[in-house]
Amino acid sequence: MAVRPVLIRRPPSAVWAVLADGTRYAEWVVGTAGSQPVEGTWPEVGAALRYTVKVGPATLHGRTVVRACEPVGVLELEAASRLVGTARIGIDLRPWGEENTLVTIDEHPLTGPGGRLHNMLSEALLQIRNRRMVRRLAQVVEADSAPPPGGR
């Protein structure tokens, strides 16, 4: 399992504001070029969004469904792609001190080629991808909720 923590220097509510906006999925999920809600109200359980991945001249589409949601705490997603199958992405938010959030992303393949062929190499690639993803999430959150000039 690709488990990757990151400390985001904003409170959990600021992190949740980004996660809870399905139109912003592509801003922090590595490999996606766009996203749009297609079913339900994101991030309620059962809500889904469609995402776009561009590989050279090809445009591929996938779907992500919310499987569990505890606002400002836990978001569990199932991402599906025809090429690789499905994956579980668990996102856990914990207050860390007075103004920070410890975010842990836990991703692992469930079905399809990604699940059947999961090995140490694919795990290493997931770790690299998720390292970039948590950094991007931190950048998006911190840019959105930057403290006012001259202090806190």
Residues whose CB is less than 8 angstroms from the CB of residue 28 and which lie 6 or more positions away in sequence, other chains included: 18, 133, 136, 137, 140
Digit-by-digit pLDDT tens for the chain (152 residues) are 567 889 999 999 999 999 999 999 989 988 888 888 999 999 999 999 999 888 788 888 889 999 999 999 999 999 898 777 888 999 999 999 989 999 999 888 887 756 556 656 666 666 677 788 889 999 999 998 766 555 55
Q: How is the chain split into domains, by residue range?
A: 2-30+68-144
Share of the chain above pLDDT 70, in %: 84
| Fold classified for 2-30+68-144 | Alpha-D-Glucose-1,6-Bisphosphate; Chain A, domain 4 (3.30.530)
Instruction: Report the relative pairing of strands 2-8 and 48-55 from DSSP bridges.
Output: unpaired
pTM of the full structure: 0.85
Over the stretch 94-129, which tens digit does the pLDDT of each residue have? 999 989 999 999 888 887 756 556 656 666 666 677
Assess contact for 42 and 20: CB atoms under 8 A: yes
